């Protein structure tokens, strides 16, 4: 089959295209501003790329099927051609993944507001290390696996992060509805994606729909410490296990400690110690991500056991894995520079809960360093004032908060736009330092002035953004390294 991707350079689109190529399909695609590293990954896989969306390039290639990316909208010339001619079938990416990549394979779907990419990578790593040969699709760059995509054995489990965002301009269901979970991981649930969900109840409704498609021989693993998950409707048709720090959970994370080398903790299943973990990644939130991954991998290895015995001890017979050197996913508290007086980190966090968790972990690991948190309001929710008060509280955990340019601020009505100056005033009232900047470039200039060659104060600079920060991160590291 000849499959054409419109908007191919997105991480999920590109990785899915590579997997289809590995399955033996002919694959090509288009995008505006074809760029590395994904363009290089695609070209190395033998996938033809077209710059821009000229309709004749798609039609001349003569696809049998077209995949329309989530970022593609009406007005795109290739989309309009599809709709006018009605000659070539088209699907959303999630539908393609469900039908072509997952099919009847047992699927492990990782859902939740935070930690999806990390938990997906850790689950895939756990299965890979258990010689199960999983397939997987990871929406980031895993540091413990050879790539962000793998076809795996055609009957082996397939691991994928279940995004709650809508599937395409013509399919407004959440992406995860297409992914056919045999094992469903629910990390947490908060309001997010204010551009498509009205409130917490609206987003919770989508998660309740996901619960309804877990089969009777499947499992739901949920964060038992999260009240929003506990408020979801019951799922009596399948087995539900809870994971967390509270003793009421089925799998309890106990005796958690962390330092600059990572963390360590115990996993206790219904009162019985089943694993002692030394983990290369910091933070209690990452300990929970790993606990979910370990439990899901153990359940996969228990598929041939009856559910009663699995409920008694799902870890029985499961292989124990060494996680002491695990690094997770790129841009999750990634250390870019480590000098005696200066640490520089990059973190993908763009929600106040994620920022708080990261700053608390950094403070615990490096209590002697001044923490300077640089935040770029960029996501569709972060640029609004929905979380303004919570962003202020989160950033006040740093010693000095630097707030960058509001991404595409002109598209947000002033009364709905985040007010970075109000955040600064809140943080200063807490006795911390704070500055807001009209451009990321000016934030970078301010930061470089703070760290000239004569600076001797032991400090840490952490950049929080789900984007590029307009190149400020790389430029700052380059300047202070020289």
C-alpha distance from residue 187 to each of 168, 290, 341, 445 (Å):
24, 11, 36, 38
Q: How confident is the model at residue 332 (pLDDT cuts 50, 70, 90)?
A: confident
Q: Where do we find the tokens 């789900």? A: 466
Report the C-alpha gap between 247 and 245 in whole angstroms: 6
Q: How confident is the model at residue 23 (pLDDT cuts 50, 70, 90)?
A: very high
Inter-axis angle of helices 116-129 and 284-300, nearest 10: 40
In DSSP terms, 375 is beta-bridged to: 403, 464
pLDDT of residue 106: 97
Q: What is the pLDDT of residues 50-68, one digit of tens each?
A: 999 999 999 999 999 999 9
pLDDT of residue 58: 97
pLDDT of residue 157: 97
453 pLDDT more than 70: no
The phi and psi torsions of 251 (rounded to 5 degrees) equal -110, 115
Q: What is the pLDDT of residues 460-474, one digit of tens each?
A: 999 999 888 999 999
| Domains of the chain with CATH codes | 2-88 (3.40.50.720), 96-312 (3.40.1190.10), 334-481 (3.90.190.20)
pLDDT of residue 2: 97
Q: How many CB atoms lie within 10 A of CB 377?
A: 26
Q: What share of the chain is helix, strand, coil (3-state, %, to 5)?
A: 35, 25, 40
pLDDT of residue 261: 86
Closest to 246 in 3D by CA, of 268, 219, 278: 268
Report the predicted TM-score, pTM, of the whole model to 2 decimal places.
Answer: 0.85
Report the C-alpha gap between 207 and 212 in whole angstroms: 9
- Lowest average pLDDT, out of 258-267, 388-397, 426-435, goes to 258-267
* 60 φ/ψ sector (left φ>0, alpha ψ -120 to 50, else beta): alpha
Inter-axis angle of helices 440-450 and 472-481, nearest 10: 20
283 pLDDT more than 90: no
Q: How confident is the model at residue 142 (pLDDT cuts 50, 70, 90)?
A: confident
153 pLDDT more than 90: yes
| Higher pLDDT among residues 327 and 89, named by residue | 89
Give mean pLDDT, residues 368-394: 92
Q: Which helix (H) or strand (E) holds 181?
A: strand 181-186
In three state form, how does the secondary structure of 126-166 look?
Answer: HHHHCCCCCEEECCCCECCCCCCEECCCCCCCEEEEECCCE
Report the C-alpha gap between 377 and 286 in whole angstroms: 23
The phi and psi torsions of 20 (rounded to 5 degrees) equal -60, -40
Q: How many CB atoms lie within 10 A of CB 449?
A: 8
Q: Report the percentage of the chain scoring pLDDT > 70.
A: 99
pLDDT of residue 92: 97
3-class secondary-structure state, position 21: helix
17 pLDDT more than 80: yes
Q: Which helix (H) or strand (E) holds 401?
A: strand 400-403
273 pLDDT more than 70: yes
Closest to 68 in 3D by CA, of 104, 117, 106, 31: 31
Q: How is residue 457 annotated by DSSP? A: S
454 pLDDT more than 70: no
100 pLDDT more than 90: yes
Closest to 462 in 3D by CA, of 378, 341, 373, 392: 373
291 pLDDT more than 80: yes
162 pLDDT more than 90: yes
pLDDT of residue 244: 97
Q: What is the pLDDT of residues 103-113, one digit of tens each?
A: 999 999 999 98
3-class secondary-structure state, position 392: helix
Strand arrangement, sheet containing 2-6: 48-51, 26-31, 2-6, 65-68, 90-92
Q: Report the percentage of the chain scoring pLDDT > 90.
A: 76
232 pLDDT more than 90: yes
339 pLDDT more than 80: yes
Q: Are 119 and 111 in contact (CB under 8 A)?
A: no
Report the C-alpha gap between 372 and 404 in whole angstroms: 13
Strand arrangement, sheet containing 149-150: 149-150, 135-137, 158-162, 107-111, 181-186, 219-223, 239-244, 251-259, 262-269, 272-279
Q: How confident is the model at residue 243 (pLDDT cuts 50, 70, 90)?
A: very high
pLDDT of residue 309: 87
The phi and psi torsions of 37 (rounded to 5 degrees) equal -85, -15
pLDDT of residue 94: 96
Beta-sheet pairing, 262-269 with 251-259: antiparallel
Report the C-alpha gap between 6 and 96 in whole angstroms: 13
pLDDT of residue 456: 63
Residue 283 structure tokens = 């933070």
315 pLDDT more than 90: yes
Q: Looking at beta carbons, which pairs linking 229-238 to residues 24 or more positions away fall under 8 Å?
A: 229/186, 229/188, 229/189, 231/204, 232/189, 232/204, 232/207, 232/208, 233/208, 235/211, 238/214
Report the C-alpha gap between 50 and 43 in whole angstroms: 11
Give mean pLDDT, residues 123-139: 94
């Amino acid at each position: 089959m000849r499959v054409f991707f419109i908007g191919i350079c997105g991480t999920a689109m590109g990785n899915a295209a590579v997997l289809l190529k590995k399955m033996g399909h002919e694959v090509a695609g288009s995008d505006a501003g074809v760029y590395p590293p994904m363009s290089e990954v695609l070209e190395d896989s033998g996938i033809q790329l077209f710059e821009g969306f000229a309709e004749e390039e798609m039609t001349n290639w003569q696809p049998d099927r077209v995949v329309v990316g989530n970022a593609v909208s009406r007005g795109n010339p290739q989309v309009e051609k599809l709709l006018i001619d009605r000659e070539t079938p088209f699907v959303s990416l999630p539908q393609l993944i469900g039908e072509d990549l997952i099919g009847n394979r047992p699927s492990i779907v990782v859902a939740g507001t935070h930690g999806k990419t990390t938990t997906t990578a850790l689950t895939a790593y756990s299965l890979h290390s258990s010689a199960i040969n999983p397939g997987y699709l990871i929406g980031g760059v895993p540091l413990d696996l050879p790539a962000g995509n793998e076809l795996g054995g055609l009957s082996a489990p397939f691991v994928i992060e279940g995004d709650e965002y809508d599937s395409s301009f013509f399919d407004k269901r959440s992406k995860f509805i297409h992914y056919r979970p045999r094992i469903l991981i629910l990390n947490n649930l908060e309001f997010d994606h204010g551009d498509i969900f009205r409130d917490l109840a609206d987003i919770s409704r989508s998660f309740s729909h996901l619960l309804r498609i877990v089969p009777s021989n499947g499992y739901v693993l949920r964060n038992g410490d999260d009240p929003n998950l506990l408020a979801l409707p019951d799922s009596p048709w399948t087995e539900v296990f809870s994971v967390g720090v509270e003793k009421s959970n089925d799998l309890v994370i106990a005796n958690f400690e962390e330092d600059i080398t990572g963390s360590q903790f115990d996993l206790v299943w219904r009162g019985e110690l089943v694993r002692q973990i030394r983990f290369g990644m910091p933070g209690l939130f990452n300990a929970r991500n790993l606990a979910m991954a370990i439990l899901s991998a153990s359940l996969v290895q228990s598929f041939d056991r009856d559910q009663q015995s699995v409920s008694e001890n799902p870890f029985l017979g499961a292989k124990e894995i060494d996680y002491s050197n695990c690094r997770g996913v790129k841009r999750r508290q990634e250390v870019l520079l480590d000098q005696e007086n200066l640490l520089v980190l990059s973190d993908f966090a763009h929600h106040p809960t994620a920022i708080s968790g990261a700053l608390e972990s950094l403070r615990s690991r490096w209590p002697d360093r001044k923490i300077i948190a640089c935040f770029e309001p960029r996501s569709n929710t972060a640029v609004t004032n929905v979380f303004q008060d919570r962003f202020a509280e989160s950033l006040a955990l740093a010693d000095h908060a630097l707030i960058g340019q509001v991404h595409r601020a002109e598209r947000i009505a002033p009364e709905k736009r985040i007010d970075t100056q109000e955040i600064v005033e809140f943080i200063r009232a807490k006795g911390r330092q704070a500055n807001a900047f009209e451009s990321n470039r000016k934030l970078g200039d301010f930061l470089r002035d703070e760290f000239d060659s004569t600076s001797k104060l032991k400090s840490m600079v952490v950049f929080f953004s789900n984007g590029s920060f307009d190149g400020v991160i790389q430029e700052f590291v380059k300047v202070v390294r020289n």
